[in-house]
Structure 1
Amino acid sequence: MKSLSYLLCLTVLVLSACSGNKQKTFSEDELNLIPKPKELKLNEGSFNFTNETGFVLEGENQRDIAELLSAKFEAVAGWELKILEEKPETNFIQFKGNQDLNEEAYKLLVDDKKIVIEAASYSGFVYGLETVRQLLPLEIESKEEVNDISWQIPQIKISDEPRFEWRGLMLDVSRHFFEKEYIFKTIDRLAFLKMNTLHLHLVDDQGWRIEIKKYPKLTEVGGFRVDQENKHWDARSDNKPGEKGTYGGFYTQEDIKEIVAYAGKHGIDVIPEIEMPAHVTSAIAAYPELSCTGKPVAVPSGGLWPITDIYCAGKDETFEFLENVLLEVMELFPAKYIHVGGDEATKTEWEKCDDCQRRIREEGLADVEELQSYFIRRMEEFVSSHDRVLIGWDEILEGGLAPGATVMSWRGTKGGWEASEQGHDVIMTPGSHVYFNFYQGDFDTEPMAFSGFTPLSKVYDFDPVVDSMSVAQKKHVLGGQANLWSEFIDTPELSEYMLFPRLAALSEVLWIPEEDKDWADFSRRMQVIFKRFDLMGINYATSAYSVTAESEVDATSGEIKIGLKNEFPGSEIRYTLNDKDLNASSTLYKEPINVDSSSLLRAAVFENGKPKGDTLVKDFHFHKAVGKEVTYKPMYHDSYTGVGENTTVNVIRATKNFHDGQWLGWLGEDVETTVDLGEVTTIENLKVGAMENQGSGIYFPVKVTAFVSKDGENYTEVGEVSREFKINGAIGLKDFEINFEPQEARFVKLKVDVYKGLPGRGRAWLFLDEIIVE
């Protein structure tokens, strides 16, 4: 009997039904799926993957889907999940066609014997298997073999489908070129999040990135620029025509075929964007005859504005060229859509061009705006004649929209609203919520980005449908898309940092019904998914953990009240004041902190005794001008009013975000500001904080002059500081400081001179922060 018991136990161990592989019952808190499924029922028990688990398929095309999971198990367990010829009694994953389901819908049933995925399309099976992947232990994402783990998933029933048919990401590979290996990685991650569209911005002023065999100079010349990568994007000098470019690259047509095939295997469409009529300096550098002037130009190495070297709309040769290009593009990209850009065309050359003016007359057009409409309509006719649909940015509305065009609305949602009212399909991609080249955390600590602010929670607030739309208009909203413009993004690691985790938030809001959105629940799941991202090797941002301070001055007591928060609800925030070390034992933040003397604040989120995200460091410096009366001549601009007249004497320092509510702004005007200290006192040092963000038209002052007075009428100059103008692409903060011999004074006056050297580019903004008197 003893030997029989031994054999029975051995059998049980081999079958993994006892010992460490006992069936586990999962809780709902252990289900951290992103995007969240539409309907889910969790049952008791689990399904256990073993080296005998296999796939039961209905067709050869499903092998590629099975491989997506089989490759994972081969890496972590050394198993190959085989394709089974016949359905066994147990331990299998079955793909089962169900034509009653919608196009991208799937059903997932897991019990202790099997996993069944039902779908009507290839994509539906991909999504079902990606859900299985996310139900597995996070170690499934490891690149190395993992031991001593049970590969179980819960017994569960899921019925799921996306809210929108267009769930996209645009990668700008023109401003900075990314090798195809990074594109493959991005496709993997899009599939993980059930996104279905990769939009490649292949053409812009700074680079042409796709081989066109009929026009080889597009890549030979237009694919490379003079290497000025050591300079900031907006501080690069103009290149000379003919100067050889060495920085850049392009995708061969074989590369494109590989990318498209790889994406198709993951259920993702790849949409090419071939810009026109503007953002094409790289093409005109290769073929100058395509412009109105025919003059040689160089591929620019950095920022370019305004964009005047554009395709000539009056020459038939232009349209012949573009049609030939698109014929090759359409051969490579089987997707339904072709994106042609259509944005930001400065038409000054069209206004002077004899060919363009003749076109306007012959076509009975009113002006150059209608000429652009003619341009896009003509290209739309060509595209639609090849059974494709043209997409353009919302500028294609100007002058009249081409009949079959789809609009991608980026300047807010207004363009999308107007297009949908006219019966056109729209894709919402407003800069306010889904431009991932904007900052996602503290401007002072984050990598250089465009000046907008799009934190994780703001992405989660995004909804492509506008409340004021009619029922008919809403049906024209295909979905939404994130855009990652790459002016400041020159490495795959930085690209990942800007994409993740924001892409996860977008994937959920484009998938689930609007009424099911729950920021607190998403935050919980997102923090678990971070651990998967670690194993996937994604260089994601932890900005959502980072602490921000909201400070205000108590008008009665003069104290500063500091509120601390971060994006994830319920986070453990700890802080210190002055010279104390910040650690897991520091004071736990529970209520606003009151400060009435100079203090250095440090704060961070802690998890399991370790800090998460960046540490907040804020210096609150109380000086002799704090809370005193300040006057300004002239008054600050209505667009940048800070917190009012006391903005410059409230202790709270402004940041690199000029929308943070702590800046006063003047447009093109010298400023005279006077502080009344209330009584005569000894002073010897004056500072005034300023900002420079030349890309946004904000410039440091060129001179600051200081005066003091006892009576407010008779002033004595005590010093000045000048700064010669320099091209500067980075955002800068600077205190302009003036030291002088100790003076008895009640009134302090600063005369701040604005930069006036912007001929033809309007007036410069002057932004001032704290006036510090010591």
Structure 2
Amino acid sequence: MKNAIFQSLSMILLVILVGCGEESRTIFTENDISIVPKPLEMKFNQGAFRFNEDTKLVAPKDQGEVLDVLKDKFTAAAGWTLEVLDTAPRSNFVLLSTDSSMAEEGYDLKVMDNQIIIKANGLNGFLYGLETIRQLLPVAIESKSLVNNINWDIPKVEIKDSPRFKWRGFMLDVSRHFFDKDYVLATIDQLALLKMNTLHLHLVDDQGWRIEIKKYPKLTEVGGFRVDQEDKPWNARPTPDLGTETTYGGFYTQEDIKEIVAYASSRGVTVVPEIEMPAHVMSAIAAYPELSCFQKPIMVPSGGVWPITEIYCAGKDSTFEFLENVLLEVMELFPSQYIHVGGDEATKTNWEICPDCKKRVANEGLANVEELQSYFIQRMERFLSSKGRILLGWDEILEGGLAPGATVMSWRGVKGGLEASEAGHDVVMTPNSHCYFDYYQGDQDAEPLAWGGNLPLSKVYQFDPVVDEMTAEQAKHVLGGQANLWTEYVPTYDQAEYMTYPRLAALAEAVWSSKANRNWDDFSNRVESLFERYGKMGINYAKSAYQVTTETSVDPESAAISIALKSEFTGSDIRYTLDGSDITVASEKYTTPIDIKKTTTIKAQVFKEEKPVGALFKKTITYNKAVGKPVTYLKKYHDSYQGAKELGMVNVVRGSKNFHDGQWQGWLGGDMELLIDMESPTELEKITVGALENQGSGIYFPVQVEVLLSADGKTFKSAGIVKREYSANNGSELKNYVVGIKEQTTRYIKVIATNLGTPPTGGGSWMFIDEVVVE
């Protein structure tokens, strides 16, 4: 009996001990690891480390603050205040271990059953190791409120990681629209998460001066505010009358700047200020008109300005005295080695007639005003160099000769970077083709208003700061790359987030990870985990990569149209309908291209875990009598915009507001003239010609479309003309030119679209045409 009682007590005690013991840890697979940017090397081991309220954080005394990155997350999500020590206990700790032999910004991370060790040679390496741990933790670690019933486990891994480039940047334009200090601090947090180390603040532009300069208080008192015309399109805001009340704007006090810089430093981020010169400075001239050539009083513009003629006078020494005084205060606030001076888009018409500028050109033996700009930049470069700083500017600073110690930021493609690196100058690559986040990232009809262009997530991911044309020596001068968010069309914090994320993640991997480690499909899987984190953090990230797009082909013999559906993410689950009905989880799954031979409305949407994600795709394919018919171009399209070439006008797929979508055919300055052979006499009622206008990109509607008909292909008779006079248009617009025809039979159709020729801004106008619909 005693033995039986003892055995029973033993079993109860065992159950109690097991019940009180730690639960089994999460079983991970390598596919559970979704780190962005992808580490240089990673070894996956079986097992896990579990964080609990007794886990200790261990760091040298001078590095303790870096642990706040992880400590603060657990305080919010788990309710723990993890203790920070300077000596490691026996187990259950995260240790920062200094190793001065390691590469700058590199780190080694080893996760074991009962301890985690991060080795690095300084702050940034430790930060990046901790940010990697953060991405290994459940996404609930991003919660701002307490999370219950969760195991804070991470997989056992060994990671050796370091960046490919030392400049991994993001530019935020706070001039066109002002973003307060808290938004800037939140942006710094996101840069740190993605191991980005540079925040470039565009503090000065025509529409606003955003930094307090104590010697010149009117820069912010006057230059920091403009007339509120936020209800009008950016490029349609009239010039306000002198004295009109200015209520839109804001600026950072010097105390704000100090806080931003200090916070950024604690997150491994250097803040690079941009103080524009000699152009993009109407906000400064509004405050101090004597800085311009003719001292004409002006208002801070409320919207777009082009050309930019009100610029600093390069002939007055007082201009340079002003700028040096401004930069002295700026350098006191920003420890950054680089000071960005802009240098772009200066229209020099005032310099050409200004007596002071003409005198400067003569006295300095300059050939022209281009060399005067070079003189201007070189003079500022000598001043910055004397203070131990490096002048950084947009690639226009190459014009007229580059200052000896300057670094170039190449934005107009890669040409500036090639030229500067060939001359032995350092460069930061930020071509608008891959790095301008004010461009659309999806179907323009489903996206908020943007500047133009097309920069989807997958194209950002293709970015490489080192271009094929560079020699090995030139490549050594490439500091790295940077994304830019210009904010003419970005008035709110929500929209700024939408334009920035997740494209910043793609850019981060492009400038951190080795080329061998980069793979779009692999990134696609990992970035979706980042989407969950963004959701937990309350970030308004774009889901544009889930949008459905089409690829269309036409069989010339059968005139059958084949339509392929896809999204940026390979292998997406796409559901569709062809009868106009709504998309549901029960809708047809897309597997192979869809053939149609009649007018059809396609609806399609990507599904994730049986739920729709991204915007609904809806398009009507107007099947018409000209589909697949032979087309002869009597006045051919430009080589840069060939659309679908010979079938482009008769493949039934209409071009979108994105003129880079591969459907549009373009004519620069000249007219379009084409001939469609219907191959046999065909009854006609009307002919529709599609066109696009985007004046901001130099694209204008034709001023006339004429249709002519012929039975023999030799003698043509006009069947109708549609005219449209030029008018200013600040948006992007599609238009149908419909030529009604009295019912008749014909074989040959000639279509002539007349180009505007020369727009009000000068130069040649683009005319974009897509699809001739014959009904």
Query: Deviation per CA, 1:498-542, whole angstroms, max 9, x where unpaired?
Result: 111111111112112112212221111111221111111111111
Cα distance in 1 for partners of 2:521, 2:271 equals 33
Paired position in structure 1 for 2:3: none
Q: Which runs of 5+ in 2 are unaligned?
A: 1-5
Tell me the alpha carbon deviations over residues 405-460 of structure 1, each in whole angstroms, 9 at most, x when there is no partner: 11111122222222222222211111121111122222332222233222222222
**Whole-angstrom CA distance in 2 between matches of 1:672 and 1:490:** 42
Specify every segment of 5 or more residues in structure 1 that has no aligned partner in the other structure, as ranges.
none
* Counterpart position of 1:168: 169
> Counterparts of 2:19 and 2:417 in 1: how far apart (Å)?
61
Question: Does the CA contact (< 8 Å) of 1:234 and 1:728 recur in 2?
Answer: no
- Looking at structure 1, the residues matched to 773 and 277 of structure 2 have their Cα atoms a distance apart, in angstroms, of 51
2:41 corresponds to which of 39, 57, 72: 39
Q: Partners of 1:663 and 1:430 in 2: how far apart?
A: 23
- Displacement of 1:700: 2.2
> Take 2:524 and 2:356, find their aligned partners in 1: how far apart are those partners?
57
1:193 is the counterpart of 2:194:
yes
The alpha-carbon distance between structure 1 residues 199 and 13, as it changes in their structure 2 partners (threshold 3 A), is farther
- Find the counterpart in structure 2 of residue 206 from structure 1: 207
2:120 maps to 1:134 = no
State the 1:132 CA deviation.
0.9
Contact 2:719–2:741 (CA<8 Å) still a contact in 1? yes
Distance 1:730 1:738 in 2: 25
Structure 1 residue 748: Cα displacement: 4.6
What secondary structure does 1:700 align onto? coil
Give the equivalent residue in structure 2 for 1:304.
305
Kept in 2, the 8 Å contact 1:601–1:619? The answer is yes
TM-superposed deviation, 1:588: 2.6
2:31 corresponds to which of 29, 32, 40? 29
Q: Matches of 1:697 and 1:504 in 2, distance apart?
A: 31
Q: 1:645 to 1:372 in 2, by over 3 A?
A: same
- Report if aligned partners of 1:544, 1:567 keep a CA contact under 8 Å in 2: yes
Residues 61 and 86 in structure 2, CA contact (< 8 A), matched pair in contact too = no
Kindly provide the amino acid, as one letter, of the partner of residue 34 in structure 1.
Answer: V
Deviation at 1:6, TM superposition (A): 4.6
Task: Tell me the residue number matched to 2:78.
Answer: 77
Shift of 1:182: 1.1
Aligned-partner Cα distance in 2 for 1:202–1:636: 42
Which whole-Å CA distance do the structure 1 matches of 2:764 and 2:59 have between them? 67
Whether 2:276 is the aligned partner of 1:275: answer yes
Offset from partner CA, 1:282-333 (integer Å, 9 cap, x none): 1111111111121122222222211111111111001000011111111111
For residues 660-696 of structure 1, give each alpha carbon's deviation from its aligned partner in whole angstroms, at most 9, with x where no partner exists: 3322323344555554444444433332211110101
**Count of residues in Structure 1 that have an aligned counterpart in Structure 2:** 769
Deviates more, 1:233-242 or 1:299-308: 233-242
| AA aligned opposite 2:335 | P
Corresponding letter in the other structure for 2:389: R
Please report the TM-score for the alignment, with normalisation by the length of structure 1. Answer: 0.95
Partners of 2:32 and 2:181 in 1: how far apart?
35
Distance 1:92-1:298 versus aligned 2 partners, 3 A rule: same
Q: Secondary structure at the match of 1:424?
A: coil
Shift of 1:26: 1.9
Is contact 2:105-2:125 (8 Å) kept?
yes
1:536: which partner in 2? 537
Aligned-partner Cα distance in 1 for 2:277–2:424: 24
Q: Give the superposition deviation at 1:705.
A: 4.8
- How far does residue 186 in structure 1 lie from its aligned partner after superposition? 0.8
Pair 1:110–1:747, CA change in 2 (3 A): closer
Tell me the secondary structure at the aligned position of residue 446 of structure 2.
Answer: coil
Local SS of the residue matching 1:400: coil
Distance apart, 1:59 and its partner CA: 1.5
Q: Which moved more, 1:90-99 or 1:311-320?
A: 90-99
Does 2:484 align with 1:451?
no
What residue in structure 2 maps to residue 52 of structure 1? 54
Equivalent position of 1:433 in the other structure = 434
CA distance in 1, matches of 2:689, 2:433: 32
Contact 1:232-1:728 within 8 A present in 2 as well: no
Q: Does 1:144 align with 2:181?
A: no
Find the counterpart in structure 2 of residue 250 from structure 1.
Answer: 251
Q: Distance in 1 between matches of 2:88 and 2:336?
A: 35
Aligned to 1:616: 617
Query: 1:119 Cα shift?
Result: 1.4
Q: Is the 8 A contact 1:601 1:617 kept in 2?
A: yes
Is 1:552 paired with 2:553? yes
Greater Cα shift, 327-336 or 614-623: 614-623
Q: How does 1:86-165 map to 2 (within 5 A)?
A: 86-165=87-166
Over 3 Å counting, the alpha-carbon distance change for 1:706 and 1:163 in structure 2 is closer
Change (3 A) 1:751 1:605: same
Q: CA offset at residue 248 of structure 1?
A: 1.6
Report the residue type matching 2:477 in the other structure: H
Maintained 8 Å contact 2:580/2:602: no
Kept in 2: contact 1:703–1:752 (CA 8 A): yes
Indicate if the aligned counterparts of 2:453 and 2:659 stay in contact, CA closer than 8 A.
no
Q: Give the match for residue 489 of structure 1.
A: 490
SS at match of 1:532: helix
Q: 1:605 aligns to what? A: 606
Measured on the aligned residues, the alpha-carbon RMSD in Å equals 2.3
Q: Distance in 2 between matches of 1:54 and 1:42?
A: 24
Tell which deviates more after alignment, 336-345 or 51-60. 51-60
Alpha-carbon distance, 1:84 to partner: 2.9
Report the counterpart of residue 517 of structure 2 in structure 1. 516
**Paired-residue identity, %:** 58
Instruction: Assess if the C-alpha contact under 8 Å between 2:175 and 2:204 holds in 1.
Output: yes
Question: 2:105 aligns to what SS in structure 1?
Answer: coil
Q: Structure 1's 595 and 586: CA in aligned 2 closer, same or farther, altered over 3 A? A: same
1:133: Cα distance to partner? 0.7
CA deviation after TM superposition for structure 1 residue 223, in Å: 1.4
Q: Which is further off, 295-304 or 484-493? A: 295-304
Q: What amino acid maps onto 1:268 in structure 2?
A: V
Distance 2:570 2:749 in 1: 45
Decide whether aligned partners of structure 1 residues 430 and 623 sit closer, same or farther in structure 2, where only a CA change above 3 A counts: same
For 1:717 and 1:523, locate their aligned partners in 2 and report how far apart those are by CA, in whole Å.
54
1:358 aligns with 2:359: yes
2:287 aligned partner, one-letter code: A
Alignment of 1:462-481 (within 5 A): 462-481=463-482
Question: Is the deviation greater in 89-98 or in 118-127?
Answer: 89-98
> What is the CA deviation profile of residues 334-387 of structure 1, one whole-angstrom value per residue up to 9, with x for unaligned ones?
121111111111112112122112212222222222211111111111111111
**Residues 346, 676 of structure 1: alpha-carbon distance in 2 compared, 3 angstrom cutoff:** same
Amino acid at match of 1:606: F
Amino acid at match of 2:270: D
Output aligned runs, 1:658-697, within 5 Å: 658-671=659-672, 673=674, 675-697=676-698
Letter of the 2:196 partner, please give it.
Answer: M
> Could you tell me how far apart the structure 1 residues matched to 2:685 and 2:577 are?
31
How many angstroms apart in 1 are the aligned matches of 2:580 and 2:104? 61
The structure-2 alpha-carbon separation of the partners of 1:677 and 1:257, relative to structure 1 and needing over 3 Å to count, comes to same
1:444 is paired with a residue of what secondary structure?
A: helix
Q: Which moved more, 1:258-267 or 1:191-200?
A: 258-267
Task: Quote the Cα distance in structure 1 between the aligned partners of 2:630 and 2:467.
Answer: 45
CA distance in 1 between partners of 2:692 and 2:239 (Å): 26
Please report how far the alpha carbon of residue 738 of structure 1 lies from its aligned counterpart in structure 2 after TM superposition: 3.9
Cα offset for 1:650?
A: 2.4
Q: Secondary structure at the match of 1:309?
A: coil
In 2, the alpha carbon distance for the partners of 1:641 and 1:592 equals 24
Contact map agreement 2:59 2:87 (CA 8 A) in 1? no
Q: Give 1:740-755 correspondences, 5 Å limit.
A: 741-755=742-756
Shift in alpha-carbon separation, 1:638–1:123, aligned structure 2, 3 A: closer
1:423 alignment counterpart: 424
Q: Are the equivalent residues in 1 in contact too, given 2:60–2:86 (CA < 8 A)? A: no
1:272 & 1:10 partners in 2: Cα distance? 62
Which residue does 1:289 correspond to in 2? Answer: 290
Q: So what's the TM-score if we normalise by structure 2?
A: 0.94
Structure 1 residue 231 corresponds to structure 2 residue 232? yes
1:241/1:285 contact within 8 Å kept:
no
In structure 2, the CA distance between the partners of 1:99 and 1:445, relative to structure 1 (3 Å rule), is: same
- Tell which deviates more after alignment, 224-233 or 584-593: 584-593
SS at match of 1:567: coil
